[in-house]
Amino acid sequence: MLETKLTRKLKVQYPLIQAPMAGGPTTPELVAAVSNAGGMGSLGAGYLSPDQIRIAIKEIRRLTDRPFGVNLFVFEEPNPLNDDIEGMNDYLNKYRAELGIASSPPIPQPAESFEEQVNVLLEEDIPVFSFTFGIPSTGVIQAFKRQGTIVIGTATTVEEGIRLEEAGVDAVVAQGSEAGGHRGTFATNAADALIGTMALVPQMVDALSIPIIASGGIMDGRGLAASLVLGASAVQMGTAFLTSAESGAHAAHKQKIVTSTEDATEVTFAYSGKAARGIRTEFMDDMRFYEGTIPDYPIQNVLTRDIRQAATRASNPEFMSLWAGQGLRLAKEQQAAAEIVKQTVEQARIVIGDLGRGV
């Protein structure tokens, strides 16, 4: 039932992957609930330390014996010469004053060591490793494959998909322009890589021989069925699970999602220095004047961290990063993740069945 070449490979019941959402939403409870319901949960571990990753994996395993994925950010060395870090930090002090936090600039820390994160995943022998923002070395990809871990990359253009297949991944997420959160773009500039899911998926399917996972704007069984019809072997859904009961997203973030319309988001560099889609905030609007001077990821991400954390404590959504896709009117409030999986699969069966009878 709804079996595809990818569900067989992943050993899951349904072609439905809960998107890895770094920064809090993908609690072990959410990941396990999706996997237990027959989909595949994913831990967004990009911002987690090696120890935090190990603890989360152990907790997921305590809650489910089904397959799950862990997602990392492929580390890129930023070019600090391009960036006016001090200027941006001075500018950000305005928000720090507004939020009542210290204005002493935080010193940019190196990103979590990708190598150490990878080592934990290899030691824990996870079922599925997914990644975004680039392509890890052949050594890393092969190390996972040797121990039987399925490897999934993220592409926002066909060319990126081709490079991922050449690098040896088992499947590729085709991230359409509708998708919430960070863009996986790595081989072109962010503006050129905003291809709608309806256009991106069939072109990726034609160009690659490995399974394609459709993502971006998919919120229910209609989106799942449409993606399979386009040739995808599964879907990845983020926003739909971000407002689930098990999601660790802040209540103000969930509230904004369930009360916003499809035109409420835009792609911004303001929070992290990397393109990401989120619900428009005062901070995004302000930062538009600084376009072109925002330091690269991960520097800007480090610079805005204290602001985002203070906004979170104050439940002030205007300075939080409210990542979300364009399917906002379809978001449901605090539904159990298992229920989302069940309803999505049931609706997909119904719409496919109805149409099949008419053909």
List of residues contacting a copy of itself (CB under 8 A): 1-3, 157-159, 176-178, 188, 191-200, 202-203, 206-207, 216-220, 222-223, 225-231, 261-263, 266, 325-327, 329-330, 348-349, 351-353, 355-359
Pick the closer one to a copy of itself by CB: 111 or 218: 218
The distance of closest approach from Cβ of residue 142 to a copy of itself in the complex, given in angstroms and rounded to an integer, is 29
Pick the closer one to a copy of itself by CB: 54 or 349: 349
* Bridge partners, 213 (sequence order): 173, 234
The distance of closest approach from Cβ of residue 68 to a copy of itself in the complex, given in angstroms and rounded to an integer, is 25
The distance of closest approach from Cβ of residue 11 to a copy of itself in the complex, given in angstroms and rounded to an integer, is 18
**Rounded to whole angstroms, how far apart are CA atoms 166 and 161?**
9
Pick the closer one to a copy of itself by CB: 211 or 223: 223
Pick the closer one to a copy of itself by CB: 51 or 282: 282
**Rounded to whole angstroms, how far apart are CA atoms 16 and 213?**
9
The distance of closest approach from Cβ of residue 286 to a copy of itself in the complex, given in angstroms and rounded to an integer, is 17
Pick the closer one to a copy of itself by CB: 5 or 58: 5
Answer positive or negative: Cα dihedral of 250, 307, 31, 217: positive
Residue keyed to tokens 């079922």: 127
**Rounded to whole angstroms, how far apart are CA atoms 8 and 34?**
17
Pick the closer one to a copy of itself by CB: 137 or 188: 188
Burial label, 97 (beta-carbon count in 10 A; 0-12, 13-18, 19+) = exposed
**Rounded to whole angstroms, how far apart are CA atoms 96 and 73?**
27
**Rounded to whole angstroms, how far apart are CA atoms 111 and 287?**
23
Q: In the numeric block, which tokens belong to residue 102?
A: 């210290």
Nearest one of 206, 229, 226 to 216, comparing CA atoms: 226
Question: How many residues are recorded in the chain?
Answer: 359
Pick the closer one to a copy of itself by CB: 116 or 206: 206
The distance of closest approach from Cβ of residue 234 to a copy of itself in the complex, given in angstroms and rounded to an integer, is 14
**Rounded to whole angstroms, how far apart are CA atoms 258 and 332?**
6
CA distances in angstroms from 329 to 35, 194, 220, 239, 324, listed in the order given: 25, 21, 11, 11, 11
The distance of closest approach from Cβ of residue 4 to a copy of itself in the complex, given in angstroms and rounded to an integer, is 8
The distance of closest approach from Cβ of residue 53 to a copy of itself in the complex, given in angstroms and rounded to an integer, is 32
